[in-house]
Amino acid sequence: MRYFIHLGYDGSDYSGWQRQKDTPNTVQEVMETTLSRIFKKPVTIYGCGRTDAGVHASQYVIQIHLDEALVFDLKFRMNKNLPNGIAVFEIFEVNDKLHCRYDAVARTYDYFMHWNKDPGLLRYSSFYENIKLDFHLMRKATALILGTKDFKALCKQPDSYPNTLCHISKCELFVNESQGRLRFTIRGNRFLRGMVRYCMYYLLEVGSGNMTLDEFERVLNQEKERKEKKEKWPAHPNGLFLSRIEYPFLELKDSHNLIRMLKVGLE
């Protein structure tokens, strides 16, 4: 029997989602260890996607396969045994043919950033001290991202994918200058490794005057430059949230309390 488990996590203290041979303390490792303890046998889980070290998920879905139907409150037991930075919201029994990753039709990421030092935002918003930004240009750059189909230039490992095509259905920038904060939100049918953080990196490059809109458009279009290409760096991880997963057959409960608070003044 297959179950989808809807959860969220604070990625600050984890080495990303995916279990890796030489990388301890991943979210997947913690989840599998907890479930194996509950069921008293090894349990393998699959996730709806992967997040980098320090990246959060306010809405995330994993799947497990059990030989028999649940006869106890698994949500209660998981929340009792999981660290405080991971919470289970709801559990669904689903058809064995459904997959939490491949059957998701859309994902939404939100990136929060601030430029006035604020200890309350430290874990959930990226701090760029004293940065001066042209928000008008950044919104124009956001529109260029929305119109892009091939994101090879904004992928950390493009050769690991059969193709780098993504359909972006929403891409917006919200700014609150009085709070010294902004939010970048993007929704698409799929995302490549590092893609959202590279989007944010280039938005900051354009906004700070280090890159023109034309130069950014050439990057997106993968046009070769005569001079050596400028090395790109992903934006800080702690401001990034995987904030929504959508399925055509399942309505997930609202689990966006932290995101809702961070969005105040940025909607």
Catalytic residue list: 52
Which has the closest alpha carbon to 267: 149, 112, 150? 112
Q: Is 126 helix (H, G, I), strand (E, B) or coil?
A: strand
- Residue found under tokens 């919201």: 89
Q: CA distances (Å), 105 to each of 16, 61, 100, in order? A: 23, 13, 10
Token readout for 9 is 């996590």
- Judged on CB neighbours under 10 Å (0-12, 13-18, 19+), 96 is exposed
| Helix intervals (H) in 48-182 | 74-81, 135-146
Q: Is 218 helix (H, G, I), strand (E, B) or coil?
A: helix
The CB-side HSE value for 173 (13 A sphere, CA atoms) comes to 25
